[in-house]
Every structure is written in C-alpha cells, then in structure tokens.
Amino acid sequence: MSIISYRQALRDALREEMLRDDDVFLIGEEIGLFEGSYKITAGMLEEFGSRRVRDTPIAEEGFTGAAIGAAMVGLRPVVEIMTINFSLLALDQIVNHAAKIYGMFGGQARVPMVIRTPGGGGQQLGATHSQNIELYYSFVPGMKVVAPSTPADAKALMLAAIRDDDPVLVLENLALYNTTGDVPDDVQPAQIGRAKIARSGADITVVSYSRMATVALQAAEHLAEDGIDAEVIDLMSLRPLDRDTIVESVKKTNCAVILEDDWLTYGIGAEIAATISDGAFDWLDAPVRRVAMAEVPMPYAKSLELAALPSLDDAVNAIRETLDAVARRR
C-alpha cells in the first residue's frame, strides 16, 4: 500500500498495461513531447517511443476515429481527449461508430478502445472548458462509461477499461488529479458495472460519482458529528448503471440525495431519481433531492463560478432538509 495521487494512479495503470501488452498504445494531442496537457502521460514518450505514444494534430474526429479503426483490427488504443469538452468534435466517431460497430455488424468487429478525458469546472476556464457532459456518452448503448473518484479506483478502472473489448470512456476530473489516497500495490482490474458503498450508514442514501463522490464523503463525515449516519454510494460506472445497489440502499434508509456536477435537467441524477422511483417508491419517506450545477454556461468570474458549482454546504444542507422532511412524515 502506498499513498499516491489520482494522476500517478492513472499513469501507473497506463504504464503497467503498456509493459504488459504491446497492442496497447497512447494517442492524442500533446501527450508525448508536451507530456500531456495535465501531465498524465509524463515520461511515456521517453520510455515507450513515438510508435506507442503518438502525438496527433488537433483533429479529435480524425484521431478518435483512427483509434477506433486500429481497435477494429485488434490494437488497444488509449485515446486522450484533452478535456471532455473537445470530445464533442469526435461525437460522430464515438456515438455513431465506436458504440455501434459491434452491434451493427452482428458481433464481427470489437472496439477495444479507451477514451480518457477529464471533466470538471472550478478552474475559471469559462463556458466551453468547464462542462460535465458524461451524460451524452452514458446515454448510448454500446458505450461503457466509468467515473473513478479515488486514486485506487482510478487505477482499477483504468486497468479494467484497457482490458475490456468494448469502447470505454474513463471520466477523469480536473479537480481530482492532485488528490491522494491509498493504492494497494497489486491493484486488480475493477468490475465495470458495479457501484461501491463508499461509506455505509442507516439514515440517508447519498448517491454520487467522480468529484462529487468525494464531496459526499466529506458531507457524511461532517454530519456524523451531529449523529447523522449517511450511506454514500459511489457509482463508479455510469453505464452500465448498478441500479440494484441504489435501490437496496434506499429500501434501508428510506430517503436519498443525489450529488452531481452536471446540469440538473435531464442529468445523471434524473436517471438515479427515476430508478429510485421505479425500485423503491413504497419505501420512500421524502422526495428524492438533487444537488447539481446551476443551469448556466459556466461564467469566468470566480464569484459567479463558485455560485454555479455545487458545494459541500449545498450537499450538507440538502441532506439535512431531506431528513427534516422525513421527520415530518413519520
């Protein structure tokens, strides 16, 4: 066990897989000589050479599509899209091709490709560089979308994603890259499609993923001081979605709050709330509450940006208000 950063955990996973399997290669903008816009691939070009660490022109559609075409004949490309915002330029290749090729051709071609890309706001990057649009990919059958919140999960999910024979989008987060945590020395690949109970509790279910899962744990620790025992579910996988873990938890706690960094309307939280309605309606003692980003293009000014992003206080207040509603009903 050692304490390493989320960034280091991702890099370790990439490096281990590249050492293990010559078919694994990295492709993207500025990943080689520049060592990655967020330095996840630092040192990789030097260690593995330009055959396996391929700097591309600024052409998201072109190089993402090229990675798919390489995967179709058996290579295992790991694509870096500098931030999830730029993935929109590759939307046709991801949605119309990567996600469809296995099904559309009756199972004859697999697309064992990983797309690594960070989401996240809070860096004063303005409207086009602060989005959380993982929903777009989570919506599509044929895609797998995972969203680790800790260094250990980042490594385990990256290993799983690279070894998976389907296109997997690994959602990283700008605000998590420098966070640290315990990572076992022999991390095994995670099972894609399973949520984890990050903290077990009896009073309320808090469902979250990625950066907001870390906020959920902070809120739970804070509320524990007041004797509130929150259960925190870290989804880890957005598609497939582990609905059963959510429903079972709500049957135990009878109430739920969802924390998400994306926009509320039609967001990931809407799907979670619908799942709770489908599976645990009769167990609910209060409406399901969602804490999500304000529905605006992200502003640049710090005061406005802070107001738009969901905070620890927002999470704590939503949990308290939901428990108050439960108390009034009982």
Catalytic center residues: 60, 129
With contact defined as beta carbons under 8 Å apart, do 113 and 67 qualify? yes
> Which among 121-129, 175-183, 239-247, 258-266 is the span making contact with other proteins, rule CB under 8 A?
239-247
Closest listed residue to residue 140, CA positions, set 111, 181, 118:
111
Q: Does 61 help bind other proteins (rule: CB under 8 A)? A: yes
Q: Does 330 help bind other proteins (rule: CB under 8 A)? A: yes
Among 6, 11, 12, 25, binds other proteins (CB under 8 A): 25
Q: At what angle do helices 312-329 and 210-224 cross, to 10 degrees?
A: 60
Q: Does 237 help bind other proteins (rule: CB under 8 A)? A: yes
With contact defined as beta carbons under 8 Å apart, do 11 and 153 qualify? no
With contact defined as beta carbons under 8 Å apart, do 115 and 167 qualify? yes
Task: Give dist(CA 330, CA 37) in Å, integer.
Answer: 52
With contact defined as beta carbons under 8 Å apart, do 157 and 248 qualify? no
The greatest distance separating any two alpha carbons of the chain, rounded to the nearest whole angstrom, comes to 65
Nearer to other proteins, 236 or 298 (CB): 236
Among 174, 241, 250, 315, binds other proteins (CB under 8 A): 241
Q: Does 106 help bind other proteins (rule: CB under 8 A)? A: yes
Q: Does 141 help bind other proteins (rule: CB under 8 A)? A: yes
CA distances from 283 to 144, 208, 255, 274 (A): 30, 20, 8, 14
Q: Does 104 help bind other proteins (rule: CB under 8 A)? A: yes
Q: Does 48 help bind other proteins (rule: CB under 8 A)? A: no
Q: Is 221 helix (H, G, I), strand (E, B) or coil?
A: helix
Nearer to other proteins, 142 or 299 (CB): 142
* Number of residues in contact with other proteins under rule CB under 8 A: 67
> Which among 10-18, 29-37, 40-48, 91-99 is the span making contact with other proteins, rule CB under 8 A?
91-99
Q: Does 302 help bind other proteins (rule: CB under 8 A)? A: no
Residues 6+ apart with CB under 8 A from 37: 29, 30, 82, 83
Q: How far is the CB of 188 from other proteins (least distance, A)?
A: 16
The alpha carbon of residue 211 and the mean position of all alpha carbons in its chain are separated, in whole angstroms, by: 8
Q: Does 17 help bind other proteins (rule: CB under 8 A)? A: no
Return residues touching other proteins (CB under 8 A). 25, 51, 56-57, 59, 61-75, 77, 92-93, 96-97, 101-112, 141-142, 144, 164-166, 191-194, 202-203, 237, 240-244, 247, 253-254, 275, 278-283, 285, 330
